[in-house]
Structure 1
């Protein structure tokens, strides 16, 4: 612009001033008034050069600082520099204002932010920075020592300092409470869906909760020594034996989430816990004696120890640490087995849970009632063994508990030991005592064996499930032999009341009890057949089953018609093996 002014002044002196101004205005960068242009045209060449130099010096002073894009503060600072420089010059006020406007127009940002280039430089710098690795259990700050700024930065990066922006303890507790509630909801929802009978039984829910709480408390305690000592497999074993292997598997796999929190989400401990729970829930699926717990514990110990060594080799080169962890794992599982053996009787007693182990212990011939039955009523003992074979096989095929069926059969007629010789199987060719008494008295003696058996079972603390079988195995059936005997010999048969000759009941309320009722009647009836053949046996079995159905003895025991048909076939198969045809062995013919 100053070059244009100088050129216009040096041109034809006769040229109108307005024309000169019009020529200068073609430079659109500057927005000055005509009066301001006239002021500049009035300056001689020397004065014009001084003014131009003053503007350049002001701009050089301005551009010594960065002027950011859209940075109002730096722009205002630049204008202040211009004002200061112009104020120091000896020029009149009018010319100073004109120069200020021109200089302001030339102030432009000289500092621009390139986000892509900046990000590229950051990444490049990060690559060149050596990483600082904080290992697990590494001491960052020792108690009592001064804390450096770098240590504070490390603690903040690890989220170990609450600077007002990190999560509070309250939020942590709320999150933990939500997680616990969610896991419990899943556990009990599964129980409600898969085993509604257990879910509705408050006693069983308390049992499950008690096992969970005890195991978690023990786990938190032993975690102080080593997380590998946690006896989680004990919980799986107890639930499998006391409740159900599927329930045990699901509940304890979900409990591993709690264990994960306790051990700080240690992957090795979590994987070993999963293996232990799966093995603990499956190994004792068909436990028969308490020694099976020890054998299973040894098996799980070996597998888990191998797993611990393998995982340790993958994640670490410290052999000493690996073998110490393996030792803790083995000790933890062995302690689990010992705890399971010790706590099992306690839970059985407190919650009145009948396990297969307890039932099989009752089947020992050396049990007082079993020995009494064998010694005082050998015929009834043999009958009970035969009924047990029939009942166990039938319970197996219809989804009942074969152990309950077998042990229930052993004890169902224990009341006959009070008066053994009044029952046909114990007379063995001796005189029948019923021939000397009235049918009414005989009926009272026959009917009393269920009541006597129940009293004896209670006295010897036999489990409730076996007591129910003793009480229910005859239901409300009729003692037909003495009923018809008295009715046929009476002068007034219409006065003979049928209810006086019926068992007091109740009728069977479980599958096992219903099966035992059928097996008891079938075995006694088939044994009474003179020359048993396959046809006679099948006809007798059909008659017995139809009689129980028609007299509505099986309406409360959860046996469907399909189940009863399967039971019928099972009886026939078992009886066919007992009463199969035998050839007559020839004897040596003596030669005279």
Structure 2
């Protein structure tokens, strides 16, 4: 048998495995290896093309990206296509009425000033014509100029001269009539929408309204002139509403996307500036830096390694503190990555579904068999992410999520269906179950794509998926012995192999010390049940119990279970000599196991199952013989149990020997005896170097009592033959 723990015996590993930074170095190494294997799959494919050249092949976009220039152009078109928004300015009608009122108010003021001037002239009297002419301040022209100056420029500069004269000559009643008539007409007309192209028509309408009044001709013309020039457009562009409408139209334009897998240019098509811009946006030209995707890959890998380190530091697995197991985990992960990378090279053969043959589940199988299922589950997650990148040749994207799902489900199935036996039938069953899951995943992926596949292609997909399941189990079982031999990991399959009664050492016990063999089998039953109850490795405890007394085969007759119909040799041997013979058997057994290069855990159980307990029988026998024995001479030299399994095997060993020597054992007597043995060992400090808790000791006590209850159950006392009642007539 190869030495399974050779790496722990290597000087270089002993020197560094407990280094404070070794775990960081292992995680860093795993990350760097992952990056090295995946970076070629993330490197952008830069095309050596220029504007005006002919495309040598069909070029599709590897990513989904927005063409912002085209999006902005379409948004501008959408905004420009929106007609201006007009609104009725109702305030304009009030404004024009106010202006008309100002006009007539100005006329009244000018008329008032003229009358005042006339009154001043009348007061002067008949002082002479010369003085009279000097007192007349305004001429007719000056009166009209004064009136015009008091009008707003929009009206004063547009009214006819006759209109001014008519206004100046009108009486108060006429001015009031004119004001009401023109105001009413203007207000009525401007209550309706008047666009820029409808002003003339509106002015005509206002003029026709005022001309309907019964007034003299000059007043009619003046009112018409005022009405026409008081009408202005009131249905105008609403700048704010127009802007809002155009912004809304621009927002409704969907972004122009170059979608993943979209054909940008066909083979033989001339590459225009627009096409070149799309290639550049998709990252396919030499203008794009390769650092961007590599940075993304590095970030993803960093996150994965950080998550892995956090998970392993919190999960209840051996990887939490055992750096040798962590190195094994990293190696399994690396080997599986390399296998996936090599499998991805099969895509060059252009065979449908060929990469589904990838034995990715081999890694999780190895992790489950050599380490713990929890570690294997997390490994399946890591491998699935890596698989999405490694098997991306058939897609334009960086990750192919179909292969990611395939590898993930395949790995999880291998953990759930893992059988720790290495028997061929169990291996085939596990491989068949993984193959079935692979087949279901591939079928689901094909159905999701909704693509019609010919029967032949479907057969290829199914065949490769099934082959991948069997390849995984074959590869895992083939690599298992190398990892077991190299990393000191005692797997369940190895334990099952060691439990085979045909193993040389077990046959040696059976043939040379049959009583010890039977004793070991009972101890194995007790220890396995107790270890399973406290969450320890029950299988390890069973196999360790099989070998724990192998040292008795050197002098089997000195052990009571082998003294069938023979005198006890201890009756003729001094107590000290007897004690030496008995005390030697754990260490003789350990040496025998080491020579056979047995696993370290089995050796430890054989060497530690008595700890440093006192050999009370011979110690007190020596005292009875009048000697003054030293207690240390009658104690096992140790070491004490360093694991739960060693401690439980030691308890089971003592319990089995004690119960076997009882006369008419009852359940109550057995329970008291088991409790006494455990308490004695606890008080003697035999559990000081293992992590058994008081609660777990109570569980061990309960489990052992339950097992012994079934072994030493009550039996019916059958009467002797001569005391049986005879049949009638005999």
**Fold match (TM-score > 0.5):** yes
Counterpart of 1:502 in structure 2 is: 635
Structure 2 residue 310 is matched with structure 1 residue 189: yes
2:282 corresponds to 1:158: yes
Partner in structure 1 of residue 533 of structure 2 = 397
2:405 corresponds to which of 271, 286, 289:
271
Q: Which residue of 1 aligns with 2:448?
A: 314
Structure 2 residue corresponding to 1:417, chosen from 512, 535, 553 = 553
User: C-alpha separation between the residues in 1 aligned to 2:260 and 2:247?
Assistant: 27
* C-alpha contact (below 8 Å) 1:223/1:229 kept by paired residues: no
Q: For 2:333 and 2:505, locate their aligned partners in 1 and report how far apart those are by CA, in whole Å.
A: 37
Give the Cα–Cα distance (whole angstroms) in 1 for the partners of residues 642 and 562 of structure 2. Answer: 29
Work out the CA distance in 2 between the residues paired with 1:323 and 1:467. Answer: 52
In 2, distance between residues paired with 1:342 and 1:159?
44
Kindly state the Cα deviation for residue 132 of structure 1 after the two structures are TM-superposed.
9.2
Q: How big is the shift at 1:473?
A: 0.2
Aligned-partner Cα distance in 2 for 1:382–1:453: 17
TM-score normalised by the chain length of structure 2: 0.62
Among candidates 666, 669, 681, match of residue 548 of structure 1: 681
- Aligned pair partner of 1:575 in 702, 708, 719: 708
1:471, distance to aligned residue in structure 2 (A): 0.6
Counterparts in 2 of 1:90-489, with a 5 A limit? 135=261, 140=265, 147=271, 149=273, 151-163=275-287, 168-195=289-316, 197-224=318-345, 225=347, 226-262=354-390, 263=392, 264-284=398-418, 287-291=420-424, 292-320=426-454, 321-489=457-625
C-alpha spacing 1:161/1:520, structure 2 compared with 1 (3 Å): same
What is the aligned partner in structure 2 of residue 526 from structure 1?
Answer: 659
Deviation at 1:368, TM superposition (A): 0.8
Report if aligned partners of 1:313, 1:322 keep a CA contact under 8 Å in 2: no
TM-superposed CA distance for 1:254, in Å, is 3.6
Q: Aligned-residue CA RMSD in angstroms?
A: 3.4
The whole-number CA distance in structure 2 between the counterparts of 1:21 and 1:460 is 133
* Contact 1:308-1:329 within 8 A present in 2 as well: yes
Moved more, 117-126 or 251-260: 117-126
Kindly indicate whether the alpha-carbon contact (under 8 Å) linking 1:348 and 1:354 is maintained by their aligned counterparts in 2: yes
Q: Which has the larger radius of gyration?
A: 2
Give the CA deviation at 1:200. Answer: 2.0
Task: Supply the distance in 1 between the matched residues of 2:605 and 2:535 (Cα, whole angstroms).
Answer: 17
Deviation at 1:410, TM superposition (A): 0.3
Secondary structure at the counterpart of residue 465 of structure 1:
helix
CA distance in structure 2 between the partners assigned to 1:335 and 1:140 by the alignment: 41
Rounded to whole Å, the distance in 2 between the matches of 1:473 and 1:562 is 21
Tell me the CA shift for residue 300 of structure 1.
1.5
Counterparts of 1:343 and 1:314, CA distance in 2: 36
Q: After superposition, give the CA deviation of every residue in 1:491-548 in whole Å (9 maximum; x if it has no partner).
A: xx33x21111111101111111111111000000110112222232223222212211
Tell me the residue number matched to 2:671. 538
Quote how far apart the aligned CAs of 1:23 are. Answer: 5.7
3-state secondary structure, aligned to 1:530: coil
> Unaligned 5+ residue runs, structure 2?
1-138, 156-236, 348-353, 393-397
Judge which range, 382-391 or 269-278, deviates more: 269-278
- Structure 1 residue ranges without an equivalent (≥5): 1-12, 30-109
SS in 2 for 1:553: coil
- RCO (CA 8 Å, sep 6+): is it higher in 1 or 2? 2
Contact 2:317/2:375 (8 A) holds in 1: no
Structure 1 length-normalised TM = 0.75
Q: Return closer, same or farther for 1:201/1:26 CA change in 2, 3 Å cut-off.
A: same
